[in-house]
């Protein structure tokens, strides 16, 4: 998760367990906007076999259906399923087995990707092939509910703009959401946690790490200038943070739950 950064350094902020594993979240974001209910990413799901799941030691009591019900919704209420990218831990919950067949978890939702990333995911390179699972991806297209976000498109996210980043994977989409005078950025894998704010802290999963470094640097400068709220998908503790300029570059400013914004 921290690429070339030595464990002796990153272990201070994200301590590994006896199996040399760290705890990470798969934190999705639900946005209610008029008569539209948009879910951004949907986690790993539960349809993979025991061998697959055993590699990741899933733990905790949270799941997507339970979280939706806690705020008064259910899967059929979701009108838009926005996918930052199609790696299994971001889109696996969008398709499930029902009566022995693959079906969409959100039967009334439009599933949003973009054409460039879709091509990248459906004709994967050897390095990413294990992250792009056909059972997660192709049922979206087969359902007829898949649509692509175009440049400057507002059909997918009327309440947000989209920033594209291609260092982690080609054309990952980072939504920049307008909320009560603030901009909330759903960081996906551009910034998995507060521990990844220093520029060299780049995941080993990234296909173009030097491009990630450039994209991170540009984005974090803008986030510090404009005081963006960064919503962290994978941070095990912190939901949101802000960043600030320091003598050492952009660094963490504050952490807080999303509910603090009101």
Report the number of secondary-structure helices (H) and strands (E) in the chain.
7, 13
Cα–Cα distance for residue pair 176/196, rounded to 1 Å: 19
Cα–Cα distance for residue pair 143/98, rounded to 1 Å: 14
Whether residue 2 is contained in a domain is answered as no
**Count of structural domains within the chain:** 1
**Domain with 215 in it: what CATH number?**
3.60.15.10
Confidence at residue 99, expressed as pLDDT on a 0 to 100 scale: 86
What pTM was estimated for this model as a whole? 0.95
Q: What is the pLDDT of residues 126-185, one digit of tens each?
A: 999 999 999 999 999 999 999 999 866 666 778 889 999 999 999 999 999 999 999 999
Cα–Cα distance for residue pair 231/29, rounded to 1 Å: 9
Whether residue 259 is contained in a domain is answered as no
Residue ranges making up the domain that contains 79: 7-254
């Amino acid at each position: 998760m921290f690429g070339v950064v030595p464990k002796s350094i990153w272990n201070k902020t994200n301590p590994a367990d006896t199996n040399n594993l760290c705890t990470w979240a798969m934190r999705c974001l639900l946005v209610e906007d008029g008569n539209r209910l948009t879910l951004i990413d949907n986690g790993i799901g539960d349809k993979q076999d025991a061998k697959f799941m055993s590699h990741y030691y899933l733990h905790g009591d949270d799941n997507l259906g339970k979280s939706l019900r806690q705020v008064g919704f259910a899967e059929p209420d979701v009108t838009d399923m926005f996918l930052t990218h199609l790696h299994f831990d971001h889109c696996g919950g969008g398709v499930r087995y029902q009566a022995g067949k693959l079906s969409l978890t959100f039967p009334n939702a439009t599933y949003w990707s973009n054409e460039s990333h879709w091509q990248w995911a459906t004709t994967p390179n050897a390095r990413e092939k294990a992250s792009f699972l056909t059972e997660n991806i192709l049922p979206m297209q087969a359902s007829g509910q898949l649509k692509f976000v175009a440049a400057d498109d507002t059909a997918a996210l009327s309440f947000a703009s989209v920033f594209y980043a291609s260092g982690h994977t080609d054309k990952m989409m980072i939504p920049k959401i307008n909320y009560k005078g603030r901009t909330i950025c759903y960081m996906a894998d551009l910034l998995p946690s507060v521990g990844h704010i220093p520029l060299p802290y780049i995941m080993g999963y990234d296909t173009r790490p030097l491009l990630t470094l450039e994209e991170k640097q540009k984005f974090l400068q803008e986030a510090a200038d404009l005081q963006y709220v960064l919503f962290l998908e994978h941070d095990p503790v912190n939901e949101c943070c802000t960043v600030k300029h320091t003598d050492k570059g952009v660094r963490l400013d504050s952490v807080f739950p999303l509910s603090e914004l009101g």
